[in-house]
Amino acid sequence: MAGDINIDWRSVCPISSALDVIGDKWSLLIIRDLIIHGPRTYSELLKSPEHIATNILAARLDLLVGLKLIQRVKLQASQRNNAFQLTESGAELRPILMALGIWAQVHLKNFHTEILEINASNQLEKPTR
């Protein structure tokens, strides 16, 4: 299956390899949305507040499906659109994203005063200042 995905690996370093896959902001934001909201359709992912372009979303979804981080699913028989959900491998990115979010809360809040906070239930919410 390694031939199904065409990635220009920069090195054999595992950190570099991980960044080759999820190092762009769009892949991480798609994974974030699936962690927070569960399965999402293409249209729902397009409505993300970061305004991903349709061609970039399609390319990232194909990449993440090919790498088995997400999978296509049918939510209901009556819906004509497929949705995407995390695979077990994709769900294992949750603690990494949480750690990144907590780091940002601690180290970026003085520069980005409107940054959301992660509450005890690991949900994002507006800060109570």
Task: Spell out the domains of the chain, with CATH numbers in brackets.
Answer: 2-88 (1.10.10.10), 93-129 (no CATH)
Would you state the pLDDT for residue 103?
A: 87
Instruction: Identify the band that residue 88 occupies on the pLDDT scale cut at 50, 70 and 90.
Output: very high
Would you state the pLDDT for residue 111?
A: 87
Which tens digit of pLDDT belongs to each residue from 45-87? 999 999 999 999 999 999 999 999 999 998 776 566 789 999 9
Which tens digit of pLDDT belongs to each residue from 3-36? 467 888 888 999 898 998 888 889 999 999 999 8
3-state secondary structure the chain: CHHHCCCCCCCCCHHHHHHHHHCCHHHHHHHHHHHHHCCEEHHHHHCCCCCCCHHHHHHHHHHHHHCCCEEEECCCCCCCCCEEEECHHHHCCHHHHHHHHHHHHHHHCCCCCCCCEECCCCCEECCCC
